Structure 1
Amino acid sequence: MGKREELWQQKLQSMTVYERPYWERGELVAGIDEAGRGPLAGPVVAACVVMDPRDLILGIDDSKKISEKRREAFYDIILEKAVDCSVYIVDNKVIDEINILNAARQAFEKALAGLKVQPAHIYTDAMDIDTDIPYTPLIKGDAKVYTIAAASIVAKVTRDRIMREYDKKYPGYLFAKHKGYGTKEHYAAIRSYGILDIHRRTFLRKFLQND
């Protein structure tokens, strides 16, 4: 075993501590996470995944800690090996109507509702949800829990692909580069070309007032 694989094995052991008591009883565990809470444009996307404890994936980690290329590769592997996976997208108009926290919570709950199997327990990345299934919200859960980390990758890749499509539609805004986040380039594009129908107007109030 190489050094890198050895480190991945150690990481996998530490990241499956929460799930193992359930897996040892033959029970399923779901993880839920979102991508896109902070950007100025585009949707918030949540993914809920139930992973197979008999076929664990080496190298899974918080989506923010791995490269875009590796996220894309893991996305396909996760979908292939997951017992179940559900994704839900809440667009910018709903975010403006009910605020980003409520929109993210809605995405979590709808993603969970989309599962075909019912897990014995759910781990969320610091989100309280309305469900009859026992769940545990964990701060920085995507860096601690294997199933949340897998969900973070699915959510991030799904959202990034949406933003790359927007980049083709609105090439001057560089969405493929910044994914809708509030970079200097993004603000410069808004000043030059205006606000789009995919922008979150509630996120741009101060910008509009100061501009």
Structure 2
Amino acid sequence: DKYNNNEQKETYSEYIIETVKGTVNSEKMKMKMMEATLLMVLVVFMVAAVDGEVGADALVCPGKQQQGFQGSCFEFVSLQLSFLSAQGWCESTGGHLAFIQNIETQQFLQKHLQPQLDWWLGLAPTSFSLGQDAAVDTLSWLDGTDVIYSNWVGKVAPGAGCGYISKHSGFQWETSRNCSQEFYFICQFGLYYFNCLL
């Protein structure tokens, strides 16, 4: 009886030892898999950094259709909506119609736009964007900031309406007095960062 009891204890002890070894091996395997995954992520970001797409802080945009650039995510929406509906769509997804405040942003957007389409921007008469009296031909971004950089096809006409990137113009801007026209549009969003030491 003692023999069976000792044998059971020994078998149980062996079972515990094997289970612990298995758990340790399983944990080691998990750690190796995590290390491999982190190494792959690091390699991807290093390659992207070499290609000039990412710096020490990798840009991570929440939407699959979004592209990160200079602290913002941009989405090129393939729906045709009026100016107000396009702005509403952008706001409902956490953004606004895009602002182009420098030539670098202009060039970045051009790489992603289809030149045969018109694209709404977040550019409107100051009175429209701020809800106050202003000269009819004064335009600003929808947040009220002045237009410093511009890429107009020609001179902005008095009575200008909502701004858009005009098709077949080499990505230059125009205004339409008819903001109810339905164009494609670009939304701009805040950006998320994935910190990565390179």
Shorter-chain TM range is under 0.3
Say which structure is richer in helix. Answer: 1
Rg larger in structure = 2
Normalising by structure 2, we get a TM-score of: 0.23
Say which structure is richer in strand. Answer: 2
Normalising by structure 1, we get a TM-score of: 0.22
